[in-house]
Amino acid sequence: MHTTVDITELLQYGERVTFKKGDCLATSIAGESNGDIFILSSGICALSSISLDGKETTYLYFKREQFVGFTSLMTTFNLNYYGKKTFSIIAKTPCVAYRISNRSFQELLGFPSITALMVNTLTENLVYLMEHFHSSKNEPALVQFSRFLMDQAEQEPSGELLLDTVFTYQEIASYLGMHSVTIARMVKALREEGLIDKVGHQIRIINPQKMTNLITEEQKIDY
Amino acid sequence: MHTTVDITELLQYGERVTFKKGDCLATSIAGESNGDIFILSSGICALSSISLDGKETTYLYFKREQFVGFTSLMTTFNLNYYGKKTFSIIAKTPCVAYRISNRSFQELLGFPSITALMVNTLTENLVYLMEHFHSSKNEPALVQFSRFLMDQAEQEPSGELLLDTVFTYQEIASYLGMHSVTIARMVKALREEGLIDKVGHQIRIINPQKMTNLITEEQKIDY
């Protein structure tokens, strides 16, 4: 675990491909995965599923320099795939990625440094998913939303904490399992309290300390 | 990925320890993990969390011959651990495990075959967690419960599909995020329909085909 390779060194094994917003990079239907592994170079992808009644649920976001895809390992488990659940990886913005065929990827996994990197990636995804699941089961909507903002907002060169424009109210609603109207109401409440404002269509966090207090102390704000 | 070691070969690197029902094997508080890695030899453990208001949520069950524990890798992520969430691994039955110190484990991860095994384990946990999350967000209670029974029931030497006694109504409720009264009502309905019965305190599946239909066709049964 001491010698992990930098993921950018692996780009040479891949073929550069671009995706438009809404493109599907990979799918896994009832445990059978198709397609290759990608290293995301720029853009944002989401791991999501569509339920029988058409509702999209987003589990994880992938940002630059991450492995993206379903490994063929998944098919060997003793898990009952009733009902043909489909998980997909969808480009939420235009993306640049490097495609590595499943076969080449299996060969790369013969190198300890690459396997170590894969252990890191999988652990990271597992932790994010546990955190997301925990939050969705146990926390009030406003705490969930505040946590989402603090986790996803990125620091600009100017020091400002800005949320990517990909995170529309509808997109946030899919991730938090809420209605987009609820998201809009929470945005309004947080703006009125002076914790966030909007720059065009982007949410900007203007008081990160108070946002953190909302999460840790589950402070009540009416919305 | 071609040469994974059998996990039982690793028991020699561990120290045999036993746990009583309810013992905590490992905890992770706000992303900081303590303790060692275990290989579970017998018994059932659960990965769960306790919310601020005392509600237990179970995410995954670990059964024999699995790695159990939190790797120290987890602390390096760019994730905001506000609110000191605690994840624990709890023995749900008496367990026998082999304890491998974190330090020895890091050394073992120098071997490609062991890292490959770790990739398998992590992928498996990730898939289970995705399936569980998907089910809890998108499926009717009865489908979730039927899926749970089909996933967790184990085939006896006699061919019968039996659920371990550890899965009390309360335990199932923690996993499915429902009330134990709801579980009791669903058990009653499935018994009346002749899909399951009870052997002492254990649930036995007597019509697996109809159980599967419940899941795939989301058949309605009143309860």
Domain ranges of chain A: 7-111, 139-217
Residue labelled with tokens 């120098």: B110
What is the dihedral sign for C-alpha B204, B210, B215, B221?
A: negative
Reported as a single tens digit per residue, the pLDDT across B156-187 is: 898 899 999 999 999 999 999 999 999 999 99
Q: How far is CA A105 from the centre of its chain?
A: 22
- All residues of chain B having their beta carbon less than 8 Å from the beta carbon of residue A132 are 133
Contact with chain B for residue A151, Cβ under 8 A: yes
Supply the pLDDT for residue B1. Answer: 43
Please check whether residue B195 is in contact with residue B205, taking contact to mean a CB–CB distance below 8 angstroms.
yes
Reported as a single tens digit per residue, the pLDDT across A183-206 is: 999 999 999 999 999 998 899 999
> What is the CATH architecture assignment of B7-111?
Sandwich (2.60)
- Most confident range, picked from A42-56, A166-180, B17-31: A166-180
What is the percent of chain B where pLDDT is above 90?
46
Contact with chain B for residue A205, Cβ under 8 A: no
Residue labelled with tokens 């993306």: A95
CATH class of the A139-217 domain in this structure: mainly alpha
Reported as a single tens digit per residue, the pLDDT across A93-131 is: 999 999 998 888 888 888 878 887 888 888 888 888 988
Reported as a single tens digit per residue, the pLDDT across A146-155 is: 999 998 999 9
Supply the pLDDT for residue B2. Answer: 47
- The reply to whether A7-111 and A139-217 are identical in fold is no
> How deeply is B222 buried, as exposed, middle or buried, from its count of CB atoms within 10 A (0-12, 13-18, 19+)?
exposed
**Mean pLDDT (whole number) for B65-77:** 67
Supply the pLDDT for residue A76. Answer: 52
Contact with chain B for residue A49, Cβ under 8 A: yes
Contact with chain B for residue A103, Cβ under 8 A: no
More confident residue, A90 or B105: A90
Q: Which residues pair with B89 in a beta bridge?
A: B26, B47
Supply the pLDDT for residue A109. Answer: 80
User: Among A81, A187, A186, which residue's Cα sits nearest to residue A141?
Assistant: A186
Please check whether residue A124 is in contact with residue A118, taking contact to mean a CB–CB distance below 8 angstroms.
no
- All residues of chain B having their beta carbon less than 8 Å from the beta carbon of residue A85 are 131, 134
Supply the pLDDT for residue B50. Answer: 81
pLDDT band at residue B90, thresholds of 50, 70 and 90?
A: very high
- Most confident range, picked from B36-40, B99-103, B127-131, B178-182: B178-182
HEC per residue, B9-49 = HHHHHCEEEEECCCCEEEEEECCEECCCEEEEEECCEEEEE
Residue A1 has pLDDT above 60, yes or no: no
Reported as a single tens digit per residue, the pLDDT across B8-56 is: 888 888 999 999 999 999 888 766 776 688 999 999 999 998 877 778 8
pLDDT band at residue B106, thresholds of 50, 70 and 90?
A: confident
